[in-house]
């Protein structure tokens, strides 16, 4: 009887280092994943450029199945590269993160607006469909 308890102690001591190794490995992998996710989040929220565009608000809606976002299109005006050709419209698509700006733009279709935006390197799925995020609105007409 004394011999079998000694055998169990030897087996438990042999399993413990392997168990500690795998627990540490899982902890390090989890910490690496958290670090990578944090760096990716910072990369996606980096403001690449900032500016404003003016034109007529053509379309504005709330879209999405899981993540509802505000999406819009602004007509920046016509472009006529060659004489005798028809004028082609220049449409700029944008997204809106903030509900307050989204509510303001819902009633402004057909108006001439100046939209201040920030362009991100990459957008996350819950932020919008475009890398251009409007954060300010000025009504011109």
Per-residue pLDDT of the chain (141 residues; tens, 9 = 90+): 555 555 555 555 555 777 888 888 999 999 999 999 999 888 877 878 899 999 889 889 888 778 888 999 998 876 656 666 666 678 889 999 888 898 889 888 888 999 999 998 887 777 788 889 999 988 887
70 and 103 belong to one structural domain: yes
Quote the CA–CA distance of 30 and 35 in Å, as a whole number. Answer: 9
Are 76 and 107 within one domain?
yes
**Whole-number pLDDT of residue 116:** 94
Contact 55, 106 (CB under 8 A): no
Identify whether residues 71 and 103 lie together within a single domain: yes
Say what the pLDDT of residue 2 is: 55
Q: What is the pLDDT of residue 111?
A: 87
Residue 106: count of CB within 10 angstroms of its CB? 14
96, 115 contact by CB (below 8 A): no
Task: State whether 13 and 73 are in the same domain.
Answer: no
Query: Do 16 and 53 lie in a common domain?
Result: no
Residues 57 and 119 in one domain: yes
If asked whether residues 65 and 96 sit together in one domain, one would say yes
Does one domain contain both 134 and 67?
A: yes
> How many structural domains comprise the chain?
2
pLDDT at position 20, please? 83
Q: Given the structure tokens 């608000």, which residue do they identify?
A: 57
pTM metric for this prediction: 0.67
The pLDDT of residue 27: 93
Q: Give the sign of the dihedral formed by CA 51, CA 56, CA 57, CA 58.
A: negative
Domain region containing 30: 1-44
């Amino acid at each position: 009887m004394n011999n079998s308890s000694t055998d169990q102690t030897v087996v438990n001591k042999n399993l413990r280092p392997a168990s500690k190794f795998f627990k540490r490995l899982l902890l390090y992998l989890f910490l690496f994943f958290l670090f990578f996710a944090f760096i990716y989040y910072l990369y996606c929220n980096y403001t690449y450029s900032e500016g404003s565009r003016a034109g007529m608000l053509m379309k504005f809606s709330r879209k999405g199945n899981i993540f509802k976002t505000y999406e819009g299109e602004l007509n920046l005006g016509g472009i006529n590269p060659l004489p005798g050709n028809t004028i082609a419209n220049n449409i700029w698509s944008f997204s809106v993160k903030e509900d307050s700006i989204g509510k303001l733009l819902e009633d402004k279709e057909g108006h001439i607006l100046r939209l201040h935006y920030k362009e991100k390197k990459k957008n996350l799925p819950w932020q919008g469909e475009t890398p251009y995020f409007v954060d300010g609105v000025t009504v011109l007409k």
